[in-house]
Chain A
Amino acid sequence: MMSNDKVLVQVRNLSVNYHTRLGPVSAVNDVSFDIYRGEILGLVGESGCGKSTLGKALMRMIMPPAKISSGAIIFDGEDVMKFDQKRLRDFRGRRISMIFQDPMTSLNPVQRVDEHLIEAIQVHEPKTVLENAQERVRTLIGRLGIQERRLRDYPHQLSGGMRQRVMIGLGLILNADLIIADEATTSLDVIVEAKLVDQLREIREEFGLAILVITHNIALVAEIADRIAVMYAGQIVELGDITNIFDNPLHPYTIGLLSSVPSIKLDDHEELYKMSGEPPNLTHPPSGCRFHPRCPEAMPLCSRFCPNMEEVVPGRWVHCWLYQDHPQKERSTIKVKA
Chain B
Amino acid sequence: MSEQISINKNENLVEITHLKKWFPVQQNFLDQILAGHVDFVRAVDDVSFTIKRGEAFGLAGESGSGKTTIGRLAIGLEKPTAGKVMFDGIDLSSLESEELRKLRRRMQVIFQDPMASLNPRMCLGDSIAHGLKIHYPEKIAEHRDITLSIMEKVGLTPPHFFFTKYPHQISGGQRQRVVIARALITNPDLILADEPIAMADVSVRALLLDLMVQLKNELNLTYLFITHDLATAKYICDRIGILYLGRLAEMGDLREVYGHALHPYTQALMAAVPVPNPHERRTQVMPAGEIPNPINPPSGCRFHPRCPVAQEICSKDEPELRALRPGHWVACHYAEKFL
Chain A contacts to B: CB under 8 angstroms: 46-47, 159, 161, 189-195, 197-198, 216-220, 222-223, 225, 242-243, 246, 256-258, 260-266, 268, 272-275, 278-279
Contact of B234 among A266, A274, A275 (CB under 8 A): A266
Q: How many A-B residue pairs have CB under 8 A?
A: 126
List residues of chain A with CB within 8 A of the CB of B172. Answer: 47, 278
9 residue pairs from A and B, CB less than 8 Å apart = A189-B62, A191-B272, A216-B202, A217-B274, A246-B278, A260-B206, A264-B230, A264-B275, A278-B171
- Report whether A216 and B201 are in contact in the complex, using a CB–CB cutoff of 8 Å: yes
Check if B278 sits within 8 Å of A218, measured CB to CB.
Answer: no
Cross-chain contact A222 with B203 (CB below 8 angstroms): no
A193 to B231, CA, bound (A): 15
Q: How far is the CA of A279 from the CA of B172 in the complex (A)?
A: 10
Binding stretch for chain A, among B103-111, B182-190, B285-293, B314-322: B285-293
Q: Check B325 for interface membership: any CB of A closer than 8 A.
A: no
Nearest CB of A to B264, in Å = 12
Closest beta carbon of chain A to B243's beta carbon, Å:
12
Query: Cβ of B210 and Cβ of A274 under 8 Å apart?
Result: yes
B193 → chain A, closest Cβ, in Å?
16
Taking CB atoms, residues of chain B closer than 8 Å to A222 are: 274-278, 281
Instruction: Name the contact of A246 in the complex, choosing from B62, B202, B276 (C-beta under 8 A).
Output: B276
Contact across chains for A223 and B207 when beta carbons are under 8 A apart: no
Knowing A275-B203, A278-B203, A279-B203 are in contact, say whether A266-B235 is a contact too (CB < 8 A).
no
Q: Give Cα A191 to B61, complex, Å.
A: 11
A208 to B282, CA, bound (A): 21
Interface centre among B63, B203, B259 (most CB of A within 10 A): B203
CB nearest to B170 among chain A residues: A278
Contact of B290 among A192, A263, A268 (CB under 8 A): A192
User: Which B residues, 223 to 238, have Cβ-Cβ distances below 8 Å to chain A?
Assistant: 228-232, 234-235
Q: Does B307 contact A (CB under 8 A)?
A: no
| Pair A260/B62 contact, Cβ less than 8 Å | no
Interchain CB contact under 8 A, B275 and A274: no
With a cutoff of 8 Å between Cβ atoms, the chain B residues found around residue A159 in the complex are 290
Q: B82 near A: Cβ within 8 Å? A: no
Q: Does B279 contact A (CB under 8 A)?
A: yes
B49 interface residue per 8 A CB criterion: no
- Chain B interface category by residue count: 35 or more
Partner of A262, one of B63, B171, B234, B268: B234
B173 within 8 A of A: yes
Partner of B276, one of A195, A219, A274, A279: A219
In whole angstroms, what is the CA distance A196 to B210 when docked?
A: 32
Distance in angstroms from A38 CB to nearest chain B CB is 18
In this complex, the member of B202, B229, B275 whose beta carbon has the largest number of chain A beta carbons within 10 angstroms is B202
- Please name all residues of chain A whose beta carbon is closer than 8 Å to the beta carbon of B275 when the two chains form the complex: 219, 222-223, 263-265, 268
Give every chain B residue within 8 A of A261 (Cβ-Cβ).
202, 276
**Cβ of A275: which chain B residues have Cβ within 8 Å of it?**
203-204, 206-207
- B269 sits at the interface (CB 8 A): yes
Is the CB of B273 closer than 8 A to any CB of chain A? yes
Task: Let me know if A258 and B276 touch, CB within 8 A.
Answer: yes
Contact at A260–B205, with CB atoms within 8 Å? yes
Flag if A263 contacts B276 (CB, 8 Å).
Answer: yes
Chain B residues contacting A266 (CB-CB under 8 Å) are 234, 255, 258-259
A223 in contact with B173 given A190-B228, A275-B203 (CB within 8 Å): no
